[in-house]
Amino acid sequence: MELVARELKAMGLYMARSLSFDGVEYDALRHELTDENVGIWDAWADAFQIIHAHLGEALKAVGIVDEDGGTVSGQHKSAVMSAFESSKQRFFAHLLAGMKAPTIATDIRRALSEGCSAIVQIVSTNEAVMERRLSKIPPEEWNNLTIDLTPKEYVLDYLEGAFPIMAMREVTDDEDNVTLEPLRDGDGNPVVCQEAVALRDELVADLACLPAVPGVLDALLETLGPDNVAEVTGRSRRVLLRDGRRVVERRGSAANRAETDAFMTGRKRILIFSDAGGTGRSYHADLASPNQQRRVHYLAEPGWRADAAVQGLGRSHRTNQACPPLFRPVTTDIQGEKRFLSTIARRLDSLGALTRGERRTAGNGMFSADDNLESPFAYRALRHLYSNIVWGEASCMKVDEFQLKTGLRLIDEDGALRESDDLPPMNTFLNRILALRIADQNAIFKDLDQILQSILEQAATSGALDRGVEDIAADDLTITSEEVLRTDTVTGAQTKVISANIREKRRITNSAEILDIIDPNARGYYVNKRSGGAAVVETGLVRTDEEGRMHRAVRIWRPDRHHSVSVVDFQETAWTEAPFEVWRATWDAEVASTDPFHTRQIALVTGMLLPIWQKLPRHGSVRRLKAPDGRRWLGRMLDPEELPQLRVALGLTDVATLTSDGDEVLRMVLDKGSELELSGGFWLRRVRVMDKYRVEVVNGRTNIPELKLLGGFVEIISHTPRVFVSTPTAMTKILAKWPASRIVTQKAAA
């Protein structure tokens, strides 16, 4: 997407602009959960489990579900459950934001003391609950209110307005289709199921006693004082605490403009705005306004919409400003919060790719790649997590407990894992996890993160992980060749391939640094009995196979690199455990003898890429190559051995011409792992025999006499004759007899 956007811009077919983030600073504000916060969250998580159980009983009582648990009307049940899940998600989103209010208020006071002005971006204002409560109270009593306007009201409103209490009866039409309709008495009035009403009233009585947290807007207004805070929201009235009493204050049509002016002139140094104030207004340190203090912008609620989040951030960062703002996204250690960050992170990546040709520019690092749980790798990790829960290999919880607490079905009628298309998707999974107890959330996300990190590490090793545009800043760069692959007939734009030798500084970790990186309880000290090198082995990891099963794994840390392998594969290596003193002496000696620079050869296809995109290797990564003298190239990175295949694909040469030199073909197969398909139905492939690499003629048994005359030799291995080639002369003769028709690189084959 990034390269497509760049090239369309270059051709004048596409235009997108966004304001630079130069000078903007980012510093996340983390709210550490208190014991009281955890207790409140867990109490409400348990309460929703009870609501879910009572909801199932109520569905049976009113006739939507039969006594055996079978669904009589899927449409009615789906509507009831949808209302329940929506109410649950809305409640926990408000509860999450409300818990952050004390930390936000404390940091706002600090920012004000340092000469800054504070801006708080929210999504919810709790207006709907407030209006429903006020509608039930006579206006003459509004000057001394005792009502509770916390997010608890969302749950109570759901129970009073959407909990199923109307009795239903089955109706069969002329085509024998069975539907449900409300049961009515002799006067035509709907019949209320008293059993369902009793269940509802029991829930209301229990929930009314649970602790609640005020909404973030009301909490900040009460803590910081309405006379100090400018509110720019869509509310037409609000409930404030004045002189120890709660009173209703009306907000006229010009209230938002007056509040904005109060903030921009400096009469009020704190501003809170919602979506209603997120467009068409400016809150930045405008050079034309009296208040030119630096803005500290708190993102209290990211919401679900990336465009709204970015639009809100743009209110405090605009042109003609005295100083750029400080953005402070407010987070907690509640794992379910990833439900909101995930969507924002994914959409910010897309926005940056489309507008700036660089996925990291829209969020400018505010959200990391780990926040994005809507990538293909995350979906794959989720399917593996489901599999492990069903197979009993997950440590978080058993399958029956998972299905009971989340309401997600993983098993079909036969007791087997449901098909992939029938498993709950990521957004549903995240919504349900948000409503679990804190300990349960942490356990599930720990397993999911382990699987996801394993998948990402394997994808990075194979070259399948798309990290976006990454920079290669060479300390020394020499262009060895530059070839024009294509010239556009209309624009004259060229597609080139640049081959270069680059010298980069190696990242070397000394023994003290590696001991700080790895947990002491999860590391071992090893020395390789063959190479004599040292390594720290990190234990307690997992890897996933193609079927999603988890296997125990370790990560081998070396002075200049690290990689992970399964425990079974590690046990077959030459690494042996060593005393700490021996390991440290070996590690330090290896660090001292390691060249601080390493040189490698690269090939970069640059220029106009879209016309040849389909002909490029599948897993080519996008890189920006920077030379010490300031020159830059952007394009697709290739391994040097992939260039011949690209030239063949573009029709610049043929395979037979490229592979006529036997010495070059031997290097291509032995050193690079490339495979050649020959016209006679043979394959030239690198194989390992007796701990040495050889070039084998696969399917060569049918022409053994002729291959032996051309210089090949035969060995009987496991009672099977196999043909090998070891000399350039023999290879040249074989290629002259059966020319190569296709080259397959090792990466493409993988």
Share of the chain above pLDDT 90, in %: 16
Share of the chain above pLDDT 70, in %: 87
The tokens for 414 are 């036969």
What six digits make up the tokens of 641?
């051995």
- When mean pLDDT is compared over 270-284, 330-344, 577-591, 617-631, the highest value belongs to 577-591
Banded model confidence at residue 343, pLDDT cuts 50, 70, 90 = low
- Could you read off the pLDDT of 588-646 as tens digits, one per residue? 999 998 888 888 888 889 888 888 888 887 666 788 888 888 888 888 888 776 777 78
- Using CA of residue 587, residue 592, residue 596, residue 601, what is the dihedral sign? negative
Q: Which residue has the tokens 């029938």?
A: 422
Q: Which H, E and C letters describe 34-78, residue by residue?
A: CHHHHHHHHHHHHHHHHHHHHHHHHHHHHCCECCCCCECCHHHHH
**Is pLDDT above 90 for 430?**
no
Instruction: Please give the pLDDT value at position 676.
Output: 82
Q: Is the pLDDT of residue 674 over 70?
A: yes
Is the pLDDT at 748 greater than 60, yes or no?
no
Residues 522 and 538: beta-carbon distance below 8 Å? yes
Residue 186 to residue 167: CA distance in whole angstroms: 14
Mean pLDDT along residues 424-434: 85
User: Would you state the pLDDT for residue 749?
Assistant: 35
Q: How far is CA 631 from CA 472, 474, 488, in A?
A: 12, 11, 23
CA distance 89 to 96: 11
Burial class (CB in 10 A: 0-12, 13-18, 19+), 310: buried
* Cα separation, 247 vs 721, whole angstroms: 95
Write down the pTM of the prediction.
Answer: 0.71
Distance, in Å, from the CA atom of 609 to the CA atom of 623, rounded to the nearest integer, reads 13
Q: Of 302, 222, 316, 314, which Cα lies nearest the Cα of 263?
A: 316
Buried b (16+ CB within 10 A) or exposed e, 381-392: bbebbbbbbbee
pLDDT number for residue 148: 65
Output the pLDDT for position 69: 65
Q: How many CA atoms lie within 13 A of 434 on its CB side?
A: 26
Contacts of 494 (CB under 8 A, 6+ apart): 484, 486, 487, 488, 607, 608
d(CA 32, CA 217): 20
How far apart are alpha carbons 330 and 98 in whole angstroms? 12
Separation of alpha carbons 691 and 688, rounded Å: 6
pLDDT surpasses 80 at 358: no
Q: 731: buried, middle or exposed (CB in 10 Å: 19+, 13-18, 0-12)?
A: buried
Q: Facing residues of 241 across strands?
A: 246
Place of tokens 């490339």: 674
**Highest mean pLDDT: which range of 364-368, 382-386, 464-468, 687-691:** 382-386
The arithmetic mean of pLDDT across residues 489-508, rounded, is 86
Which amino acid, one-letter code, is at 277? G
